[in-house]
Amino acid sequence: MTIRTKLAINILSLVGFSLVIILVLNITSHRIDESIAKGVFADRIVIGVSDMNTITYDYVANPSERARQQWERKHASLGELINKAEFAREDKKAILKRIKENHDDAGQFFRQIIENNRKKNRAAAVASTLLDESNERNVAQLRARSQIMISDAYVLTRASYDEISKVQTWSFWLILTVILLSMLIAGAISYFLSRTINITLRTLTKGTEVIAGGDLNHRLPIKGKDEIAALSAAFNEMTAKLARSYASLGQEIAEKEKAGEALQKAHDELEDRVTERTRELSRSEQRISWILSSITDCYYALDRDWWVTEINDHALIYFGKKREEFLGRNWWDIFPAGLGSVFEEQYRKALSEGTSVEFDVHSLVVDRWAEVHAYPSENGLSVYFKDISERKKAEEALKERTTELEAANKELEDFSYTVAHDLRAPLRAIDGFSALLARLHEKNFDGDAQRKIRIVRDNVRNMNQLIDDLLTFSGLGRRTMAFSVLDMEALLKEAWHEQCVINPGRQLELRSNGLPPAFGDRASVRQVLVNLLSNAVKFTNARTTAVIEVGGRDEGRETRYFVKDNGAGFDMRHHEKLFGVFQRLHGTDEYEGTGVGLAIVQRVVHRHGGRVWGEGEIDRGATFHFTLPRKDEGSL
């Protein structure tokens, strides 16, 4: 039986008992009503009888029609009342019957009274006394009957009160019994129900606690077939399901944990990489800032609206300002003087044409010279500049020096010119008139005089040579050089041919396996070859056959040439004197010459950015080397 049924029964029994109580109360009330009605009936009879007695007396005292009629009406209503009454119990019925009989008797007596009265009216006195006597009896009888009726009515009233009291007692006990009974039954049912529910709930609670404690394999005992059983079954099922889902959840959690671990690992790796990247970035930023600060150029960057986005330390030092005075500010706000100047013009040009610009400018702001390079980009302008004030100063000084040198050169030139003209003219006169003197006075001059005149003329020739060489040497500095690639073999051939022509009586042999081309001024380099060959020829005059070897090869950035002879050679101790102007290692009686040839060679080679040196040994010949920078390596 389910709890619901039990509860329903409980309620139904309570309802039933209530109905019983209501029924009992209803019956009781009905019976009390009846009893009350009977009581009332008895009272009315008492009242009616009393009234009738009173009327009887009235009539007896004063027999009138009206009193008679009043009495009749009273008697009739009373009879009606009696006839209508019903009693269940036999004793009551007997009392009622006796009341009825007395009522009828009372009527009989009254009617005799009436008859007597009528007769009295018509009869004589004697007869009236008899009649009065008869009426007195009749009245007595009537009164007796009335008394009986009243007492009977009282009996009935008493009986009805007793009845009420009896019914009340009965109904009290009955209701009490019913209430007690219903309380008993309901209490019993409730007790058992609550007991069952309590026990099962306790079991359930315990089970829940066990399961909540983690033992998902715990099952609740199932007893009977009520809701608790169903609940336990459902609970068990739920626990089973829970166990199953818990198992799968555990699996899932395990998987999730695994995935989580993988995720964490990936996350850690990512973080490591981010850290690494950040470090790299910061390193590269540091590098950039280091580069920016380490480049000796000053640097700043402007965006397309002229706002300063970057500036390095050199620039800050140059301007003598702090970084905060630049960053995030408009360039022309910082240097309003720049507007309309070469700066704005050049920067705008760079930005609009997308080409880099460079210019030297004297900044009035800092009173310094700067060489500015500005490179446009999508974002704006990168400006590198360096302080070239020192350089400008040096340039100015150089310019001044150059001007001075040019002036000195001009003076030298004028001097050379003067020498050329004015120094030669007297020489020519000396020689010419010496010659004329010797010729015109040939007969007067003896051999010794002729010899002395010859000495004068030889010295004139020497001096003339010195002047020539000096002019050549000094003239070298003035001539501008025209650089080109030179066919050295052709030059050698030309110079060698010249030597052969100048020295017709000599046996000269040239050995050469070819020469690499040179890069230089044709006339100057030719002069070098001529001078070296001329020297070689000169210092081999003691040899039957002069063997002169000329060679050359490319060596890195320069080409080295040499001229080697089998002549007199020289003492290496004096090699530093070889290239001095008017320096000679041999006596003028041995070898003619002014000592300018090698000086010219050295001067030419140096002007080309090359080197020259000599190697030799007395009587073992000499070798002269010179180098010329190759094309694109020239220092001039």
Partner 1 sequence: MLEHVVDIILVEDNPNDAELTLDALQTHGLANRVKVLKDGQEALDYFFGTGAYAGLDVCDRPKVVLLDLKLPKVDGLDVLRSLRADERTRTLPVVVLTSSNEHRDRIRSYDLGVNSYIVKPVEFDNFSEAVAEIGFYWVLMNKVPF
Residues at the site binding partner 1, with contacts judged by CB under 8 A:
417, 420-422, 424-425, 427-429, 431-436, 457, 460-461, 464, 471, 479
Q: How far is the CB of 399 from partner 1 (least distance, A)?
A: 25
Tokens of 518: 């040179």
Q: How far is CA 629 from CA 561, 608, 613, 621, 632, in A?
A: 11, 7, 15, 27, 8
Q: Which is nearer to partner 1, 362 or 428 (CB)?
A: 428
Residue number, 361 or 466, with CB nearest to partner 1: 466
Can you give the three-state secondary structure of 138-167, one letter per residue? HHHHHHHHHHHHHHHHHHHHHHHHHHHHHH
Alpha-carbon distance of 30 to 130, in angstroms, equals 55
Burial of 540 (0-12, 13-18, 19+ CB in 10 A): buried
Complex with partner 1: residue 113 or 460, whichever CB lies closer? 460
Cα–chain center distance at 23: 86
Q: How far is the CB of 425 from partner 1 (least distance, A)?
A: 6
Q: Between residues 193 and 471, which has the closer beta carbon with respect to partner 1?
A: 471
Closest approach of partner 1 to the CB of residue 472, in Å? 10
Alpha carbon distances (Å) from 44 to 53, 74, 83, 170: 14, 12, 13, 28
C-beta of 287: minimal distance to partner 1 in Å?
A: 60
How near is the Cβ of 432 to partner 1 at its closest, in Å? Answer: 4
- CA distance linking residue 362 with residue 349, whole number of Å: 19
Min separation Cβ 506 and partner 1, Å: 23
User: Is there a contact between 599 and 583 (Cβ–Cβ < 8 Å)?
Assistant: yes
- CB 445, min distance to partner 1, A: 16
Q: What is the CA radius of gyration of the chain?
A: 84
Spatial contact of 361 and 372, defined as CB atoms under 8 Å apart: yes
Residue 99 · residue 82 · CB < 8 Å: yes
Gap between the Cα atoms of 73 and 86, Å rounded: 22
CA 604 – CA 618 distance, rounded (Å): 27
Task: Give 248 or 462: the residue with its C-beta nearer to partner 1.
Answer: 462
Q: What is the rounded CA–CA span in Å between residue 240 and residue 442?
A: 160
CB of 417 to partner 1, least distance (A): 6
Q: Following DSSP, what letter does each residue of 305-367 receive, concatenated?
A: TSBEEEE-HHHHHHHT--GGGTTTSBHHHH-GGGTTSHHHHHHHHHHHHT--EEEEEEETTTT
Confirm if 218 and 211 have CB atoms less than 8 A apart: yes
Reduced 3-state DSSP string for 518-541 = EEEEHHHHHHHHHHHHHHHHHCCC
Pair 480, 518: CB distance under 8 Å: no
Q: Check the CA dihedral 411-415-418-422 and report its sign.
A: positive
Instruction: Identify which of residues 152 and 431 has a Cβ nearer to partner 1 in the complex.
Output: 431
Q: Are 350 and 378 spatial neighbours (Cβ–Cβ below 8 Å)?
A: no
